[in-house]
Amino acid sequence: MTKGFDADCPATREILNRVGDKWSVLVIVILADGAKRFNDLKRSIGGISQRMLTLTLRGLEQDGLVKRTVYPTVPPRVDYELTPLGRTLLEPVTELAMWAQRHRPNVQNARAAFERAAKPPVPRRGT
């Protein structure tokens, strides 16, 4: 089982590096709704710095996942939207997000148990 794919191959490492960073997935998911302008995006995300939004968008653009469109109007206007390629990525990413939500209780649980196991497991009553 699980034969037939390499998770260690460069391709996987590559996409994992992109998708595993702090903001990329978030941006992708927000752009799933349609094109957005830079500052709209920034507001939608909420905790991101201008610098990181720029870097994240550049990364996604570079990988062909996002398309950047500049309208040379007087206050400049730039739209970002998912490319078709970017939209296909949406599916495995959504899978992962759904896994996260379904199994979150398990994970939390495991973490609590792990923590309990680490500490001397609660002095019983007396001491």
Binding residues (CB under 8 A) for a second copy: these are 1-2, 5-9, 11-12, 14-16, 19-21, 25-26, 28-29, 32-33, 45, 61-65, 85, 88-101, 103-104, 106-107, 109-111, 113-114
Q: Choosing among a second copy, DNA, none, which partner's interface includes residue 32 (Cβ < 5 to 8 Å by kind)? A: a second copy
User: Which is nearer to a second copy, 8 or 126 (by Cβ)?
Assistant: 8
Angle at 49 between CA 53 and CA 95, to 5 degrees: 50
Does 94 interact with DNA (rule: CB under 7 A)?
A: no
- The letter for the amino acid at 123 is P
**Token pair belonging to 92:** 């495995």
CB 59 within 8 A of CB 24: yes
**CA 18/CA 64 separation, integer angstroms:** 12
Task: Write each residue from 54 to 93 as x if it is in contact with DNA (CB under 7 A), else as -, in one continuous string.
Answer: x--xx---------x------xxxx---------------
Pairing between strand 66-71 and 77-82? Answer: antiparallel
| Sheet bearing 66-71, strands edge to edge | 36-37, 77-82, 66-71
| Residues in touch with DNA (CB under 7 A) | 21-23, 37-40, 47-52, 54, 57-58, 68, 75-78
